[in-house]
Amino acid sequence: MAAGQITSEPADTPAAALAERQKLRKHFGRFDILFFLLCTIVGVDTIGTVASKGAEAFTWLIVLAAVFFVPSALLTAELGAAFPDEGGPYIWTSRAFGRLAGAVNNFLYWITNPVWLGGTLSVSAATAYTTFFNDGKNLSTSAFYAFTLMFVWVGVLAAILSFDVGKWIPTVGAWSRFILLGLFTVTVVVYGIQHGLHGFGVGDFSPTYAGFVGLVPVLMFNYVGFELPNTAGDEMTDAQKDVPFAIFRSAGLAVLLYALPILGILLVLPVKAVTGLGGFVDAIRQVFTVYGGHVAADGTATLSGAGRLLGDLAAIMFILTVLSSGVTWIMGSDRALAVSGYDGAAPRFLGVISSRFGTPVRVNILSGAVSTTVLILAHQLTGGSAGKLFGAVLGLAVSTTLVSYLGIFPALAVLRRKAPDFPRPYRAPIPRTISTVLTLLILFASVQLVAPGLGDQWFGSGYAPAGWSYGERWRYLLTEAVPLVAFMLLGVLFWVLGRTTRTAPAGALTTVKTRHV
């Protein structure tokens, strides 16, 4: 632990926690955290989904940056610096509300990520591959599984490797974002000069309630993640200084890296041509025709010469970008689940840190198994339709993610009250207001995911997800609510299975300064 860093051990800390934390290694420096955060927050897989809502999406992107993104950065900067222990959001939630709440919340926080990796991210990578390297033709079933399963298990392997090796995936991923999104933005300008752009009036940016309901969940899904580096809190060289530094710098970069490509897609493609799955990839292919290629009368883009070369390079960077998103979230959420395992809020079997790698290998393998299961099941249930698979899994990932923050965001105000004298290197302004506003926004988004339009016209024509009719509203509600309830019950089961670990406490409540070791 870095010199001068403050830590605390609650009186009921299990002996298992003290033993497992000794295996953790310190590799996580200031710029490692910054690159990790950029990969965590800036995900290119949902850019098309946001852009498909039209110019209004850009308005809500900016509004939520102000009322949600910035306050969540302030909240996490305080909690991450004041309570820098391994496990991050699990530690904050369990200290604020108890281990049962921490167990349920942490299971939701973890399960999102193998579901996301095996569904949304792997399919996005496969779509980029088929678009640029397979002439837009769908892969055969065997080739699809070969590609996507390799994608999943490369991500799992990167999470298993010790942080001094595995952290290079987020570093490469961050630079891939800079190059890909920067090149795309510049190319949009060139394309506009040569071919003109799709115009829209000021009125197209006007925010609507229906647009808010449709966009707020996915925008919040994009904007959460500041807390993820703190899942490796005991592996940071100086969490109390480096966490606020990385959070505030990544926040500005993240808004810019989202806003520019979304605006670019809206300028290049007609809204009706933008899809959630292929919107960004299609926009890349179209604008890159300025380097070589053409756009047919039906809107089909064909690349040639330098355009094809740069398009292939963009596809590789896109795949690296979505892979690094999955790796960072798996790295972080797996650590949080392992911490709950050795803290008595999950099975002890999962709460083991590998002496060889310094990582939670058992949880990593479990994540890979869940990702594989989700991938195969979703592919079979959707009849091999990549678009349906993407939409179904994205909805589940968004809902489980957002619900988990109902435990994280209130923790700021609660811990200010329960531990008012605990040292805080950074203090967020108006903590109660920040916690309240963020929690209410998350609660609203979570309700709208399960029952779109509730409070106005539940499942009305302006709110029903694409492909669903008003008569299917109860079926849709069940498809969203049942998995959430099941995951919460599994969280309770994990807490029950952790009882043996909880009943063997060690240590006493202390607040100490530790020397550099």
Contact 375, 148 (CB under 8 A): yes
pLDDT at 510: 39
pLDDT at 390: 66
Across the range 168-179, mean pLDDT stands at: 87
DSSP letter at 14 equals B
Q: How far is CA 449 from CA 72, 82, 108, in A?
A: 21, 33, 16
Band of the pLDDT at 37, cuts 50, 70, 90? confident
Query: Rounded to an integer, what distance in angstroms lies between the CA atom of residue 152 and that of residue 120?
Result: 11
Task: Take residue 271 and report the two structure tokens written for it.
Answer: 């809204």
What Rg, from alpha-carbon coordinates, does the chain have? 22
Query: Rounded to an integer, what distance in angstroms lies between the CA atom of residue 412 and that of residue 141?
Result: 47
pLDDT at 6: 41
Tell whether the model's pLDDT for residue 507 goes beyond 70. no
DSSP notation for 128-187: HHHHHHSTTPPPPHHHHHHHHHHHHHHHHHHHHS-HHHHTHHHHHHHHHHHHHHHHHHHH
78-82, 267-271, 476-480, range with greatest mean pLDDT? 78-82
Across the range 26-55, mean pLDDT stands at: 80
20-34, 207-221, 362-376, 496-510, range with greatest mean pLDDT? 362-376
Tell whether the model's pLDDT for residue 351 goes beyond 90. yes
Contact 160, 361 (CB under 8 A): yes
pLDDT at 273: 59
Query: Rounded to an integer, what distance in angstroms lies between the CA atom of residue 346 and that of residue 107?
Result: 9
Q: How far is CA 43 from CA 101, 151, 229, 319, in A?
A: 29, 16, 16, 11
When mean pLDDT is compared across 241-250, 323-332, 483-492, the lowest value belongs to 241-250
Band of the pLDDT at 310, cuts 50, 70, 90? very high
Query: Rounded to an integer, what distance in angstroms lies between the CA atom of residue 353 and that of residue 344?
Result: 15
Contact 79, 243 (CB under 8 A): no
Tell whether the model's pLDDT for residue 45 goes beyond 80. no
Task: List pLDDT tens digits, range 244-263.
Answer: 878 888 888 888 888 888 88
Q: What is the mean pLDDT of the chain?
A: 84
Tell whether the model's pLDDT for residue 509 goes beyond 90. no
pLDDT at 270: 67
Band of the pLDDT at 279, cuts 50, 70, 90? confident
Query: Rounded to an integer, what distance in angstroms lies between the CA atom of residue 324 and that of residue 472?
Result: 37
DSSP notation for 321-334: HHHHHHHHHHHHHH
Task: Take residue 84 and report the two structure tokens written for it.
Answer: 């820098």
Contact 260, 185 (CB under 8 A): yes
pLDDT at 2: 39
Q: Which residue did the predictor score with more confidence, 414 or 13?
A: 414
Query: Rounded to an integer, what distance in angstroms lies between the CA atom of residue 102 and that of residue 471?
Result: 37
Q: Which string of b and e fits 381-413 if b means at least 16 CB within 10 Å?
A: ebeeebbbbbbbbbbbbbbbbbbbbbbbbbbbb
* C-alpha torsion 444→449→452→455, nearest 10: -20
Query: Rounded to an integer, what distance in angstroms lies between the CA atom of residue 248 and that of residue 234?
Result: 21
Band of the pLDDT at 508, cuts 50, 70, 90? very low
Beta bridge partners of 512: 7
Residues near 276 by beta carbon (within 8 Å), at least 6 away in sequence: 46, 48, 49, 52, 387, 390, 391, 394
pLDDT at 282: 82
* C-alpha torsion 506→508→513→516, nearest 10: -10
pLDDT at 513: 37
Read off the pTM: 0.87
pLDDT at 291: 93
Phi–psi pair at 421, nearest 5 degrees? -95, 0
Band of the pLDDT at 333, cuts 50, 70, 90? very high
pLDDT at 514: 35
Residue whose token pair is 């934390």: 21
* C-alpha torsion 76→77→78→81, nearest 10: 110
Band of the pLDDT at 271, cuts 50, 70, 90? low
Query: Rounded to an integer, what distance in angstroms lies between the CA atom of residue 99 and that of residue 12?
Result: 11
Tell whether the model's pLDDT for residue 517 goes beyond 60. no
Tell whether the model's pLDDT for residue 338 goes beyond 80. yes
pLDDT at 107: 96
Across the range 12-18, mean pLDDT stands at: 79
Tell whether the model's pLDDT for residue 25 goes beyond 70. yes
pLDDT at 74: 92
Beta bridge partners of 9: 510
